[in-house]
Amino acid sequence: MIIVEDNPALLEELVFQQQGAGLRVRGARDAIELDRLLQSEPCDVLVLDLNLPGESGFSIANRLRDPSRLGIVILSARSAVGDKVDALASGGDQYLVKPVDRRELTAAILALYRRLEASSRPPGWRFDLLARTLFAPDGRALELTPQQATIFGLLVRHAGAVLDRQQMVSALGIEYVDFPDTRVNTLISRLRQQLESFDPALQVRTWRARGYAWVGPRIVGLSL
C-alpha cells in the first residue's frame, strides 16, 4: 500500500498509524515519488490526497485506475459534493474527508483488499494477518496466536528463504537478548505442530545452525 500526501508530518502520521494496524505501507509526497515507488514494487491499494504539487490526485487516479488490480481511497480535506463526484469518477473507490479516524481509514483499506482478492486471485491458501487466521482452499480456517501469526507472516512473506532466530525475534518487537533461543524453538515447534495438524502440506523446515524456512504452498493474503 502507498499513501500519497504532501504534508510531511501528516504523511508520517498516516504511515505510522497503518503500520501499527499491521499493514505494509510506503509513503510518497507527490506523483514523482509515487511513480518511483511503483517502478520498484507495485501496490494493491493507494491512499491519495487530491491537492498535490505538480500532478493532482484527480489526474493520478485517472491515470492509474485499474479496478481489477488497484483500489484507490481518496483522502482529502475537500468536502464538496462536486469534488467527491469528480474524484470517484476519476477512479477513486472510496472518498474520506480529513481529518479521519485511523480505524475508519484502516477499514476502508481492508475492504478494498478483500474486493481485490475476491476478484483477481484464484482460490488457494490465504492468510489474514490482522485476524491471525489462515484459510485453506476448501474454506477451513486456522486461528493463530499473536506471536505465531507474526512469525508465520514473516516466513510466508519470505518463502524459501532461511530466516534466523534474530530476525524472528526482531519481528516480534522484542530485544534478541531478552528472548532466549529455547523460547524461539518452542514457538516454532508449536506453530509447526498446529500447521501440520491442520494440513500436512504446511511445512516449516529447520536448517541446522541457520534457522527456518517456509517450504509449504504459496500463500497470499491481507497485509503480508
Q: In this predicted model, what pLDDT tens digit does every residue of 60-95 receive, in sequence order? A: 999 998 877 899 999 999 999 999 999 999 999 999
Give Cβ neighbours of residue 97 (< 8 Å, ≥ 6 apart): 76, 77, 78, 79
**Domain range spanning residue 140?**
125-220
How far is the C-alpha of 84 from the C-alpha of 68, rounded, in Å?
A: 22
Same-domain status, 175 and 99: no
Residue 84 grid coordinates: 467527491
> Given 81, 96, 120, which residue is the final one in a domain?
120
**What's the number of domains the chain is made of?**
2
> Given 94, 120, 146, which residue is the final one in a domain?
120
**Residue 165 pLDDT:** 85
Q: In this predicted model, what pLDDT tens digit does every residue of 111-159 receive, in sequence order? A: 888 888 766 555 689 898 888 999 998 889 999 999 999 999 999 988 8
pTM across the whole model: 0.56
Neighbours of 82 (CB within 10 A): 8
**Residue 87 pLDDT:** 93
DSSP 206: E
**Residue 119 pLDDT:** 64
Same-domain status, 32 and 102: yes
Same-domain status, 25 and 110: yes
Q: In this predicted model, what pLDDT tens digit does every residue of 186-218 receive, in sequence order? A: 899 999 999 999 999 999 999 887 889 999 998
- CA distances in angstroms from 99 to 10, 49, 218, 224, listed in the order given: 10, 12, 38, 27
Q: What is the CATH number of the domain that holds 27?
A: 3.40.50.2300
Same-domain status, 15 and 111: yes
Q: In this predicted model, what pLDDT tens digit does every residue of 7-41 receive, in sequence order? A: 999 999 999 999 888 888 999 999 999 999 999 98
Same-domain status, 100 and 10: yes
Strands of the 2-4 sheet, one edge to the other: 26-28, 2-4, 45-48, 71-76, 94-97
Percentage of residues in the chain with pLDDT exceeding 70?
Answer: 96
> Given 76, 92, 120, which residue is the final one in a domain?
120
